[in-house]
Each structure stands twice: as C-alpha cells, then as structure tokens.
Amino acid sequence: MKRPLALFVLFYCLGIILVRLLRIDIRILFCLGVVIFIALVLGNGGGRVFPVCIFLAAFILGALNLKCFYVASKRDIGNLVSYGDKTVYAISGFVDSRPYVKDGNTLFVFRAQEIRSGDSGRLCSGRVLVKIDFPCGLRYAERLTVFGVLQRPYAAGTYKDYLRGQGVSLSMRIKSSLQLIRHGHCGGNMLMAYSERLCARLNSRLRRFLPELPAGIVCAMVLGQRDSVPYLVNEMMVKAGTVHILVVSGFNVGIVAFVSGLLLKMARLRRKRRILLVSLFLIGYCLVTGASNPVVRATIMGIFFLCAYLFEREADIYNSLACSGLCILVVNPFQLFDIGFQLSFLSVLSIVYFYPRLSSFLHLTRLKSGPAVFLCEGFLVSFCAWLGTFWIIAYNFKIVSPVTFFANLLVVPLATLITLCGFAILLSSPFFPFAGELIGTTASALVSLLLHINALMMKIPHAYFYL
C-alpha cells in the first residue's frame, strides 16, 4: 500500500469530522474501539482484515479524541457560570496569550485559576477572552485579577470553532481601570515569558531603524506583531490575496530554515549537525514569534521534513504533512476546523499535487531562458496554491480574488527581500549601527514598492469580487 500513514491520518480526520457533525455517545465509541482492538489482536498482523482494522482504529481514535476534547473538567470556569448570569465575578489568573492592541483596545486570553463572588471563592481552570477598552501595556504571563460579568462569547461559524479550539469558553469586557488589578509578578510558562520579552526588544530594535509604516509591516513579517499594520493596508492585502505575508507562517519559517542551513553549510558543519541546529533555530524562532498556530504548524512541518534527511531517508512531502498534521490534531483536534490549518495544508498539498502535472502538461522543461523559467514556475506555483485554497476563502470570507496568483508572483519575492532585511537589521545593528540604517533604508523602499504593486493590482478590472 502506497503511503499508508497518509491514509491513516485521513481516517483519523474523518473520525473527528463525524463527531463534529453527529452526537455520538462516547460509550459507543469506546465499545467500537474495543471490538476493533480485539480484531487486530486476532488478526495477528496478517490478511486483508488487518489493514482495514488499522484504518478503522484511526477513525475511532479521531472520534474519541474530539469527544474527549468536548468534555471539560468539572473545575472549568465554563461549567461554573450559568448562561445569562449577570453576577460580577473576581477572577485571578494570568495573561495566557500575547496581548493584541488595536485602536486603543487590548484583547487577550486570560488563564483563570480562581473565581470569587462575594465572600465565596473556589479554584478553577479554563480560559476567558478579555477585552479591555483602553491600552494598558500588559504582557504575556502577567498575573491579574479582573472584575466583571462573564458571558458566553458571541461567535458563529469559523470564529466559534477558533475560540473552541483555543479552549475559550467565556468572555469579559473591562471598561474601567478599577476592574483590573495587576500583581506584578509572572505566572505561566517562563520560557514563553522570556521569549515575549526578547520579542519586545527585537521589535524596538527594528523600529529604531525604520519609519512607522514600514516598521509595522516589517515587524508583522519578521516577529508576527501585526498591531501597527494600518487597517487599510490589511484590507487591501486581503482583497489582493497577499495578506498571508503579514502572518508569520510557513513562508517565514522556510526563510529561517533556508538561511540558517546555508550559513551552517558555509561553516562546513556535518549534515546531521546542520539539521539538528536548523531544527533548534526553528523552535527558537517559533517561541520568539509567540508560538501562534500558523508558525507552530509550519515549524512542525519543517522539523518532520528535516527528520527524513536526518535519518538518511528520501523526504516524502505527503508523509511529512501526515506526520505533522497528526501531531497537531492529537494535541488539539479542533485545529482541523481552523481556517489557517486548512489553508496551510491544502496550499502545500495543492502545490505538490498539481505543480508537477501542470509543469509536464505545459512542457516547462523546454524553456531555455532563465528569466522565463523563473517567471513561469513562480506563476505556476502561485496558481497551484490558489487553485487549492480559493474555495475555502470564498466559502468562509465570501470573496474571490482572481488577481491573487498575479499579485503573489511579484509580492512574494519582495516580501522575501523585506523579511531578509528585517533579519539583517536584527543581526547586524548591535555591532554595526550604520549597517542597520542602510538596511533600514533599503527595507523602507522595498515596503513602499510592495504597497504600490498591491495597490496597482487592485486597479485591474475584476481583481476581486464578493459573493
């Protein structure tokens, strides 16, 4: 059987989807799991029944994983507050995500540890989505006590799935500084807290050598901090289908892997040491950028792909994708319904599947001009990625952007240069400030060119349309 691991993961995903669509008693799933386990033991690894049982086992495991994910702890804060409860609660805990500041508001996920109402209190767990109506300079892992009314977050469709995947069961809005007490010391993961402080220092270093607008875009590309990206710029890139460059994801992780691997190869390190060091660099970059879902997915994909070379086996992109997808879904099966997860994997699969077939059909190997080959291959890769993902974007965001693959043909190379400039500023400016200024000027010019190209693409007739 060709690529059984990919088929195993496919059945695992089907099990997750079944539980998402149908209400099935967990006892029934356990009984089916026991029956399949017995069939596997009796099959003794042979015959045609054995592979069928393996794939059915994957199906049941996926279903059980999501079913268990639905069952919250008795101490979960979502089970302690009834629907429509208007009681003002005092909740103690810590900031469990990078605070996002936009238009003077602060939004973050709060990890609850204790809930109090009047004189009574009890320990709890779970996560609360907190919105503060004023800037407050909060940081990850900072301990707080917040006062307010807890509500079920108003969410539907993909955003509801996103919140559930993040373990968020309630929300709270804070309108006054009197509803917030800062305790000053940190909780949470100390490694993540350190990486957040490092990210803040790197952010200030980039802003030292860049004007405000280019600094916001470079910080988004390099560090994943999109707070300073203007709304109009974000909307323009959404319409052109180029907004992915503002999100730290596989694009950025690929640059880190390529550049670090190239530098280590120039240092003449052995292959296995290079692979191990590149993997460590990817993990470090993941932590510095806040370990958001897109960069975690890309990091896991990259490490699995590198592991094939580490064990001196031919790298198979389908197996690498299957392994990385399985690791993500075992930890959090709700990621399967996250749009970012779907776009990440489908874009790669579309390129891997369609590109060689279309390249062969169009006879690109017959081209002898270097620039012509580069342009045709770039266009084809962009088209393949768009072909596999446009229907998800159209279904969820009600927008179709035919100009996407033309825009990405020009924007992606520019974004690569801008990202490299950002890394160059971070690495060179502590030792050679004049180099930081020179690279910063170059990066600003490239950002200006990127925005002009994106705006020009928007002027093409029927560049995008809403459904």
Task: Say which CATH number the domain at 183 has.
Answer: 2.40.50.140
Examine residue 463 and state whether it is found in any structural domain, yes or no: no
Q: Going by C-beta distance under 8 Å and a sequence separation of 6 or more, which residues neighbour residue 6?
A: 318, 319, 321, 322
Identify the burial level of 133 via C-beta atoms within 10 angstroms of its C-beta, where 0-12 means exposed, 13-18 middle and 19 or more buried.
Answer: middle
Q: Going by C-beta distance under 8 Å and a sequence separation of 6 or more, which residues neighbour residue 459?
A: none
In the chain, which stretches have pLDDT less than 50? none
CB of 350 within 8 A of CB of 317?
no
Amino acid letter for position 325: G
What's the rounded Cα separation, in Å, for the pair 426 and 342? 32
Query: Does residue 154 sit in the same domain as residue 135?
Result: yes
Q: Give the length of the chain.
A: 467
Residue 374: predicted pLDDT: 66
Place of tokens 């980039």: 206
Query: Does residue 88 sit in the same domain as residue 57?
Result: no
158-182 b/e (C-beta count within 10 Å ≥ 16 → b): beebbbbbbbbbbbbebeeeebbee
Please report, in angstroms and rounded to a whole number, the separation of the first and last CA atoms in the chain.
Answer: 42
Residue 446: predicted pLDDT: 92
Residue 132's alpha-carbon distances to 68, 126, 162, 432, in angstroms, are 32, 19, 20, 40
Examine residue 17 and state whether it is found in any structural domain, yes or no: yes
Examine residue 59 and state whether it is found in any structural domain, yes or no: yes
CB of 261 within 8 A of CB of 268?
no
Please say which residue of 337, 355, 388 terminates a domain.
337
CB of 202 within 8 A of CB of 223?
yes
Please say which residue of 170, 188, 206 terminates a domain.
188
405 phi, psi to nearest 5 deg? -70, -25
Alpha-helical segments (H) within 398-432: 404-428
Strands 88-95 and 105-117: what pairing?
antiparallel
Query: Does residue 58 sit in the same domain as residue 122?
Result: no
CB of 81 within 8 A of CB of 150?
yes
Query: Does residue 174 sit in the same domain as residue 93?
Result: yes
Examine residue 220 and state whether it is found in any structural domain, yes or no: no
What's the rounded Cα separation, in Å, for the pair 360 and 354? 10
Q: Going by C-beta distance under 8 Å and a sequence separation of 6 or more, which residues neighbour residue 176?
A: none
395-404 b/e (C-beta count within 10 Å ≥ 16 → b): eeeeebbebb
By C-alpha distance, which of 87, 94, 68 is closest to 331?
A: 68
By C-alpha distance, which of 377, 387, 369 is closest to 409?
A: 377
What's the rounded Cα separation, in Å, for the pair 103 and 88? 27
Give just the sign of the alpha carbon dihedral 163, 165, 170, 174: negative
By C-alpha distance, which of 220, 90, 110 is closest to 166?
A: 110
- Give Cα 6 distance to the centre of its chain: 21
Which pair of tokens denotes residue 358?
């279309």
What's the rounded Cα separation, in Å, for the pair 462 and 387? 18
What's the rounded Cα separation, in Å, for the pair 90 and 448? 47
Query: Does residue 92 sit in the same domain as residue 125?
Result: yes
Query: Does residue 62 sit in the same domain as residue 90?
Result: no
What's the rounded Cα separation, in Å, for the pair 312 and 314? 7
What is the reported pTM? 0.80
427-446 b/e (C-beta count within 10 Å ≥ 16 → b): ebbeeeeeebeebbeebbeb
Examine residue 444 and state whether it is found in any structural domain, yes or no: no
Please say which residue of 337, 358, 387 terminates a domain.
337
Percent helix, strand and coil across the chain, each rounded to 5? 65, 15, 25
Our count of domains for the chain comes to 3
Query: Does residue 56 sit in the same domain as residue 91?
Result: no
Beta bridge partners of 170: 128
Query: Does residue 46 sit in the same domain as residue 144?
Result: no
269 phi, psi to nearest 5 deg? -80, 150
**Domain range for 143:** 77-188
Query: Does residue 59 sit in the same domain as residue 98?
Result: no
Residue 97: predicted pLDDT: 84
Query: Does residue 94 sit in the same domain as residue 65?
Result: no
Q: Going by C-beta distance under 8 Å and a sequence separation of 6 or more, which residues neighbour residue 58?
A: 8, 9, 11, 12, 15
CB of 1 within 8 A of CB of 48?
no
Query: Does residue 165 sit in the same domain as residue 109?
Result: yes
Query: Does residue 46 sit in the same domain as residue 109?
Result: no
Residue 200's alpha-carbon distances to 174, 181, 212, 354, in angstroms, are 25, 23, 16, 41
Examine residue 35 and state whether it is found in any structural domain, yes or no: yes
